[in-house]
Amino acid sequence: METVGSLGLWAGFAAIVLVMLAIDLFVVGGGKEHRVSFREAATWSVVWIAITLAFAGGLWWYLDGAMGREIANTKALEFITGYLIEKALAVDNVFIWLMLFSFFAVPLELQKRVLLYGVLGAIVMRTIMIFAGAWLITQFHWILYIFGAFLLITGVKMYWFADEKPDLENNKLVKWLRGHMKITTEFHGQQFFIWKNGVRYATPLFLALVLVEASDLIFAVDSIPAIFAITTDPFIVLTSNIFAILGLRAMYFLLAGVADRFSLLKYGLAIVLMFIGVKMLLIDLYKIPVAVSLGVVAAIIATSIILSLNKDARERAGGEMAERSA
């Protein structure tokens, strides 16, 4: 595997991740029963973005001295583009989490604990999948075409079924868990399991955790090939992925109260997937520059957000006028 990731870079990245996870676990509150406010979520979102940009700057500075300005510019741009793609696609994951927590009626103060384990599980799964994907690409170049076709088809399906919501009541995984485990009907604080009369019961919080992990696995199948369309360097793919994931909990609580205002964002994400799929299919005919990819993805996301907010403002204005006339 060709990579700019030296032993020092890998060690520095691992140290940053461990320190930030420790702060999240032991300083901010981590898994403690805690209701996250909008202000707290906004503050931590800014912190995570600042740390990501600082890492990108540090990476550029190191590569500029070690490998030259051209490689430094290319890899820093790949990192930022990969981060933006992962961050954008993660929004769809946030929408799914909102539906899961609503379905299981998980109290706000318990959601942070579920997402803590969800993020830790995501880091492990993404690491395994990224190294496996990088190895497959080095052994079988044609697998990039498989990834491209998969992303294109996924994007079309996402666009076509953007307004459909998953039927959690008839979800096969939920049915299997309920058929193979004893599950309580009520929550027991932050506990995933309790004992009653010598019998172990799972709580609804455990079901929510399993579905959160399953949803992240499904979305990883989309997002990881998408970043391989930008770069096949496992260091850039992994670091951009992990930094986006570390800020995912904060983004969830930031968007939790306003998610309904971004009704057109799913269409934008679908177009992003289609664009990346086409880019990957054309990889041996024409390589779309990373800077162009970054601009296209940013423009699509920004446009879908602006159109969503305009649509929401019109609907709210129409509702207010209807109330006044009534």
* Mean pLDDT value of segment 202-228: 86
Q: 173-183, pLDDT tens digit by residue? A: 878 888 888 88
- Determine the pLDDT at residue 29: 54
Q: Are 247 and 44 in contact (CB under 8 A)?
A: yes
- Determine the pLDDT at residue 79: 95
* Mean pLDDT value of segment 188-195: 87
Residue 293 CB contacts under 8 Å (≥ 6 apart), including other chains: 81, 229, 230, 275, 276, 279
Q: Is 160 part of a structural domain of the chain?
A: yes
Q: Is 2 part of a structural domain of the chain?
A: no
Q: What 3-state class would DSSP assign to 194?
A: strand
* Mean pLDDT value of segment 185-193: 85
At 249, the pLDDT band (50, 70, 90 cuts) reads confident
Tell me which residue of 62, 135, 154, 117 sits closest to 245, measured CA to CA.
117
- Determine the pLDDT at residue 27: 63
Ranges 47-61, 192-206, 259-273: which has the least confidence: 259-273
* Mean pLDDT value of segment 107-135: 87
- Determine the pLDDT at residue 320: 66
Q: Is the pLDDT of residue 197 over 60?
A: yes
Q: Is the pLDDT of residue 11 over 90?
A: yes
| Domain count along the chain | 1
The first and second tokens of residue 175, run together, are 């049915």
* Mean pLDDT value of segment 229-255: 89
Q: 267-321, pLDDT tens digit by residue? A: 988 998 899 999 989 888 888 888 898 899 899 999 998 998 898 888 777 766 6
Ranges 20-34, 101-115, 264-278, most confident: 264-278
* Mean pLDDT value of segment 248-259: 81
Q: Which domain holds residue 144?
A: 7-325
Spatial separation of the C-alpha atoms in residues 174 and 169, rounded to whole Å = 8
Which amino acid appears at position 286 of this protein? Y
Higher pLDDT, 23 or 127: 127
The 8-class DSSP code of residue 27 comes to I
Q: Are 115 and 247 in contact (CB under 8 A)?
A: no
* Mean pLDDT value of segment 243-270: 83
Ranges 60-69, 154-163, 249-258, most confident: 60-69
Spatial separation of the C-alpha atoms in residues 255 and 97, rounded to whole Å = 11
* Mean pLDDT value of segment 230-254: 89
Element of type H or E holding 225: helix 204-228
The 8-class DSSP code of residue 163 comes to T
Q: Is 1 part of a structural domain of the chain?
A: no
Region label for 291, one of left (φ > 0), alpha (ψ between -120 and 50) or beta (otherwise): alpha
Tell me which residue of 223, 214, 240, 52 sits closest to 129, measured CA to CA.
223
The DSSP bridge partners found for residue 202 are 183, 193
Ranges 27-31, 101-105, 190-194, 302-306: which has the least confidence: 27-31
At 190, the pLDDT band (50, 70, 90 cuts) reads confident
Residue 263 CB contacts under 8 Å (≥ 6 apart), including other chains: 308, 311, 312
The first and second tokens of residue 151, run together, are 């992303």
Task: Quote the mean pLDDT of the chain.
Answer: 85
- Determine the pLDDT at residue 262: 80
Q: Is 210 part of a structural domain of the chain?
A: yes
Q: Is the pLDDT of residue 67 over 60?
A: yes
Q: Is the pLDDT of residue 192 over 80?
A: yes
Greatest Cα pair distance in the chain = 70
